[in-house]
């Protein structure tokens, strides 16, 4: 099993959710986060004063999938969230040792 974390632009969340649903991914967690990478933020004007926005709003998607679904999952997220502009985001994949469904006590792939 693998954990896939994706940091994407907020307006792409529905597109990514639909793309994952289309390939059979049934569960995910989405969290509003702030951060920056190469994009490094930007300056804005508010009431005549210029200020720097260092941390940009993003959405972090977390899902755990079977190892054989990882490549398909990455492809779906990438295709659905790509705009071609700076700040499109990143995908991180990590190993998962154990999963337990609290309600039933199921473990492993059955608990995903």
Q: How many CB atoms lie within 10 A of CB 21?
A: 12
CATH code of the domain in which 73 resides: 3.30.70.120
What domain range is 71 assigned to? 1-109
Neighbour tally for 96: CB within 10 Å: 14
Contact 60, 30 (CB under 8 A): yes
- pLDDT for 82 equals 95
Nearest 5°: phi and psi at 73? -65, -45
Whole-angstrom distance between the N-terminal and C-terminal Cα of the chain?
9
pLDDT of 64: 95
Structure confidence at residue 51 (pLDDT) = 67
Q: pTM (2 decimals)?
A: 0.84
Alpha carbon 3 to chain centroid distance?
Answer: 11
Beta pairing class for 89-95 and 29-35? unpaired
Mean pLDDT by 10 residues, the chain (112 residues): 96 96 93 82 68 82 95 97 90 96 92 87
pLDDT number for residue 45:
67
Coil vs helix vs strand at 16? helix
Count up the domains in the chain and report the number.
1
d(CA 77, CA 88): 11
CB 15 within 8 A of CB 64: no
């Amino acid at each position: 099993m693998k954990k896939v974390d994706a940091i994407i632009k907020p307006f792409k969340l529905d597109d990514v959710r639909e793309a994952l649903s289309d390939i059979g991914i049934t569960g995910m967690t989405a969290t509003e986060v702030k951060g920056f990478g190469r994009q490094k933020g930007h300056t804005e004007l508010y009431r005549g004063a210029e200020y720097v926005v260092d941390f940009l709003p993003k959405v972090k998607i977390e899902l755990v999938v079977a190892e054989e679904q990882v490549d398909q999952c990455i492809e779906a997220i990438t295709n659905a969230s790509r705009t071609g502009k700076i700040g499109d985001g990143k995908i991180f994949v990590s190993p998962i040792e154990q999963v337990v469904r609290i309600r039933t006590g199921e473990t492993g792939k059955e608990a995903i």
